Structure 1
Amino acid sequence: MKQVFHKFGAVSMAFLVLFTTMSFTVNMHYCGELLVDYSFTSHVKTCGMESQTSPINCDSTITKDSCCKDKQLIVEGEDNLKLSFENLSLEQQTFIATFVYSYIDLFETVEESNDSLNYYSPPVLTKDISVLHQTFLI
């Protein structure tokens, strides 16, 4: 049972480190208030209403602003996992020192010795049981 909890704790800590260091990007395309497409890996597909140019006069390009928006959600993971103890304040260092000092004896093993068996003498046999029952090893 102890090994199962140990393995479960190790796997959960590994997933915790994996998910805190993982970074990803979500690209989303909105048409008005409606989400048209989203993608985790590449650019999103558009609805075709981004910018419309008027083909009446080639010299003047009139662009109409569309109701479409592209949004990008970026989640960056933690890059620096090693904590440095130089940046700790005096109160934090004191807390760590007292925590370690008070709980260091909880995890030491205590050997129990059973001395009562060292001085045990077997009982005196009044009759030889193997002769009495006539059972002999050949």
Structure 2
Amino acid sequence: MIKTFIYKTFSASMALLVLFSTVSFTVEKHFCGDVLIDAAVFDTAEKCTSDSYELKAAMDCCKDTIGVIKGQDELSVKTFNDLDFDQQLFIATYAHTYLNLFEGLPQLVIPHENYSPPNLIFDIQILDQVFII
């Protein structure tokens, strides 16, 4: 029970690690002065849109910052010919044994398959009063 739970947890965490290591995204932030107005991950950040005189005066010092978090771009893909001879031999042997592992069993021969028992005319055990105890 615990072994399957650990196995499934480890498998899920490795899948998430691969997913998050290859995903890249941007974080966009909008500042008015030193005040953070909006931050967005998948959308554009909201700008300062107010009619007040103070914010219009502060519009000159508004700035947008964009932080890019890059994932892994280069994934190495190896073909069978890129491997050493020992690795190729191991993979070929493993594939051969795995594919031949699940061969079907020969059909079982049942010699009395078409045999029909004789009709019972008398129950001999009852007539002779012989019972298995």
Query: Which of the five TM-score ranges fits, normalised by the shorter chain?
Result: 0.3 to 0.5
The structure whose residues are more often helix, as a share, is 2
Query: What TM-score comes out, normalization by structure 1 length?
Result: 0.46
Query: What TM-score comes out, normalization by structure 2 length?
Result: 0.47
